[in-house]
Amino acid sequence: MATNAVDTAKDEAKATASALADSASKLSAEAQRSFGEAAKKFEKVVSEGLEQIRAQSRTYADSAGEQFDDAQRYVVERVKERPLVATGAALGVGLLIGLLLASGRKD
């Protein structure tokens, strides 16, 4: 009778271990599937975000380019109107920068 109880316990333990292994396998497969879906969703969100950033940066770059062109036109017009004033201003700015750089070189 004791041998029969031991055999029964062994069989039950094997059945339980087998059931646990099956459950673990199913959980592992479900987790892999869930992680795969989450990775795809994350990739999609990141891709959409990057596309929005690209579109916005193009808009900003175009706007900055237009503003730079306007500023350049303004400067060219002012220099043509008063070339001596523009030359004096450029000379003064250059002298100022030179003095600032020279004062930083003293050892």
Question: pLDDT tens across 5-37, in order?
Answer: 878 888 888 888 888 888 888 998 898 999 899
Reading the block at residue 43, the tokens are: 């990739």
Yes or no: say if 78 and 86 are a contact pair by the CB < 8 Å rule.
Answer: yes
% pLDDT > 90, the chain: 59
> Which pLDDT score is estimated for 20?
87
> Which pLDDT score is estimated for 107?
56
> Which pLDDT score is estimated for 103?
84
Query: How does the average pLDDT of the chain come out, rounded?
Result: 89
Q: Is 63 exposed, middle or buried (0-12, 13-18, 19+ CB in 10 A)?
A: exposed
SS (H, E, C) the chain: CHHHHHHHHHHHHHHHHHHHHHHHHHHHHHHHHHHHHHHHHHHHHHHHHHHHHHHHHHHHHHHHHHHHHHHHHHHHHHHHHCHHHHHHHHHHHHHHHHHHHHHHCCC
pTM for the full model?
0.45
Domain range annotation of the chain = 18-104
4 pLDDT band, cuts 50/70/90, is confident
106 has a pLDDT exceeding 70: no
